[in-house]
Structure 1
Amino acid sequence: MRYGQFHRGGALRGRPGYGEGRGRRRGVPVWLALAGCGALLAAGCSPPGGERAGPGGSPPGSPPAGAASPGASGPAEASGPPAKGSVTVSGEVAKDLESPWGVAPLPGGDLLVASRDKGTVSRVRTDTGAVTQIGRVPGVAPGGEGGLLGLALSPDFASDRLVYAYFTTESDNRIARMRYDEQRPAGQQLGAPDTVLRGIPKGLIHNGGRIAFGPDRMLYAGTGETGNTGLAQDRKSLGGKILRMTPDGRPAQGNPEAGSVVYSYGHRNVQGLAWDKDRRLWASEFGQRTWDELNLVEPGGNYGWPEAEGKAGKAGFRDPVAVWKTDEASPSGIAWAEGSIWMAGLKGERLWRIPLKGAAVAAEPEAFLQGKYGRLRTVVPLDGDQLLLVTSETDGRGSPEPGDDRILRLTVR
């Protein structure tokens, strides 16, 4: 148990206003600010950050936000999951990992795990916990919140063996793909990177980094505005956006603007992407001083930053579906399982469950594992009621203990 500890933190690492938030004393009670439990309509709006909600309440003036991503199938669910759920830690998959960030499950159950600071990719055997480095991504320049971040497998991985990575270089953030050849010697199994998208702004803070292939087989990326708030509203910039592209890095058909990979904008720092069973895209986003957000992402939607933080009901902006005080979340990875979004909290050091009823929040979110495992970075859905949860204590902002960082197996209900 980790209650009562303090994290260390350096320049630009804490709030207000900077990055992922440094550590805090663990075990502080939770007060949730929940926004938008009504049905979500296509003509929603979004927020400035001054309004405050009481426990379980919503700021006033909050019309609901949009509905579904490309390829969405079927209407909203008639009923959602139970209002209350549970999480059981059913095992420890791996330990002693250094700055783990992105995770990509392999066919057969093993994992590829990126080390943000080392720039390496390792294979983790989920049956034994053995960790074997398969390669290093050349050109990674770690620093601040940058380094080797998100990982994703090609939708055709069984045949093309391509691994995609989002990483920071000396000049930018970029996405590249590498061929994974298990016949090559250990440590040399990743081929040379083939860059599919470059020119994503980089920064010591608000560096984004999550990538994922959607149900439409397109590649999505969450980016940050790097502390330059104006980038979020600049549709020509790749910073402060959710991007959608083909596996080759070209603008995907059906994007809001032909010839552009920009899918939504007005974001501060997106580090979580997940689709529900009806193919709706959800994203977690770091707030500044007041509200962290869970957003339902609409193509072409403007999510308000820097003119809005949290809910505002302001014309032209999309409101978040749920919000949290910044010291309760600092959300990174998310996953959908058993009718709920599961959201990892860094500064908040807890796993949030957000039960959904179609495109709306069905009940007040619940917090689990508060303070027990420190900062939480990535959530990976497995079959059925299983999740993997990755801790983030060795990234320079935590208080690592023997065995950190870890990958935990969870059973959810």
Structure 2
Amino acid sequence: MIVQRRAVTAVLAAAALLLTAGCSSDDGGGGPPQGGTTPSGTSAQSSPSGAAAEETPPAEGSVKVVRTVTEGLNSPWGLAALPDGDLLVSSRDEGTITRVDTETGRKSELGEVPGVSPAGEGGLMGLALSPDYASDHMVYAYFTSASDNRIVRMLYDEQKPSGEQLGAPDTIFRGIPKGFIHNGGRIAFGPDKMLYAGTGESGEEGLSQDRESLGGKILRMTPEGEPAPGNPFPDSTVYSYGHRNVQGLAWDGKQRLFAAEFGQDTWDELNAIEPGANYGWPEVEGRSDDSAYRNPIAQWSTDEASPSGIAYAEGSIWMAGLGGERLWRIPLDGTEASADPQSFLEGDYGRLRTVLAADGNKLWLTTSETDGRGSPGEGDDRILELEVS
């Protein structure tokens, strides 16, 4: 069922946010829109794994909403798929993790994560399952504490009663700068079984270019939280830098990493990530002629995107838009956009937070109307099942 949104309500909500926050943040601190959607003319170089020829997806794709999986979620943020097909979803503001039966939509709470201190854009955010989940049953979470942003892992014991199934958190990584805005929050295990984390600069722009800071970075670490072997800077978890607020991470079929990033006043970005590369913030926003910085492969005006989660399916990156209230498809040719980005579901379900690849051509998509910046209606928030091409 398509949920009709009221444009007037959305405009009033955006105006109120501008007055209270000083800029239209949508988790990115964006401001007045300028320009339109454009693919980039330049991109990061392909990794060696992408050297072989590959099929380019068609310029035009499609999206079909198969069904609403579940409703009534509060500030859903992170999403992880269990081996049996069920989903784990985090509540940013409640600090809880809930299991969703994808067949029936039934929700059961695992428990509350201790130490979460929600405020502004902070709280319980990204989720990821251990690469060895079948044997260790570990769930990883990124959250804002009273002093920082950190990553913990917890044992998920399905044999215990609902609400008591999370073990004590083991903090594997701490010290990521926190702020009322720009806390990053996405975590994901890559094809190399290393843990990647997107961080924000917490509103302090200078952190992004400081390689000694963990703010405004993509981090790469072992499952124990140590700098991963092969990282570009010695004894550092920093994998790439010069970011503003990264909340989308995904790999394509050639194991190449892509990341979505909130802009400020002009351009939101989709970047192809290379180890050690500098993506420019705050020196540049969007594309530039300065060869010191990597250009995005696609960019959007801030009212069209405010991107959070991304996923890879059917030869394209699929990107959820918060302020843009739509799902973007970016067809790929290696590490370049092969055609203009294409949008779907514009205004149908409101703010879109997280998109996760499922089996075949399926995606899971979460809405984000209850995050304090939306206009929640009956049933919000929800998880949708999509078929894409």
Q: TM-score range by the shorter chain?
A: over 0.9
Letter in structure 1 aligned against 2:23: R
Counterpart CA distance in 2 for 1:16 and 1:118 is: 24
Q: What does 1:88-237 align with in structure 2 at a 5 Å threshold?
A: 88-237=64-213
Q: CA deviation at 1:111?
A: 0.5
Q: Say if 2:297 is the partner of 1:321.
A: yes
Provide the aligned C-alpha RMSD in A.
1.9
| In structure 1, distance between residues paired with 2:84 and 2:27 | 36
2:37 partner amino acid: A
SS at the partner of 1:323?
Answer: strand
- Look up the match of 1:43: none
The CA distance in 2 between the partners of 1:115 and 1:13, in whole Å, is 22
Count how many residue pairs are aligned between Structure 1 and Structure 2.
381
1:33 aligns with 2:34: no
Relative to 1, partners in 2 of residues 1:325 and 1:115: Cα closer, same or farther, differing over 3 Å? same
Rounded to whole Å, the distance in 2 between the matches of 1:299 and 1:408 is: 34
| d(CA) in 2 for partners of 1:144, 1:129 | 29
Matched AA of 2:317: I
CA distance in structure 2 between the partners assigned to 1:237 and 1:13 by the alignment: 25
Q: Once the 2 structures are TM-superposed, how far is the Cα of residue 67 of structure 1 from its aligned partner?
A: 2.1
Deviation at 1:20, TM superposition (A): 3.6
How far residue 235 of structure 1 moved from its aligned partner, in angstroms, is 0.5
**1:389: which partner in 2?**
365
Q: Does 1:2 align with 2:5?
A: yes
- Report deviation, 1:12: 5.3
What does 1:74-93 correspond to in 2, within 5 Å?
Answer: 74-75=50-51, 77-93=53-69
Shift of 1:345: 0.2
User: Could you tell me how far apart the structure 2 residues matched to 1:212 and 1:13 are?
Assistant: 30
Which secondary structure does the structure 2 equivalent of 1:108 belong to? coil
2:321 is equivalent to residue 342 of structure 1 = no
1:412 and 1:99, CA in 2 relative to 1: closer, same or farther beyond 3 A?
same
Q: TM-score, normalised by structure 2?
A: 0.94
Distance 1:171 1:103 in 2: 24
| Alignment match, 1:15 | 23
1:142-162, Cα deviation, whole Å (9 max, x unpaired): 000000000000000000000
Q: Helix, strand or coil: the match of 1:327?
A: coil
1-structure distance, mates of 2:26, 2:345: 25
| Contact preservation (8 Å) 1:14, 1:22 | no
Q: How far apart, CA to CA, are the structure 2 residues paired with 1:173 and 1:347?
A: 24
* Unaligned segments of structure 2, at least 5 residues: none
Code of the residue aligned with 2:40 in structure 1: it is G
Cα contact 1:35–1:311 (8 A) shared by 2: no
SS at match of 1:244: strand
The percentage of counterpart residues that share the same residue type is: 64
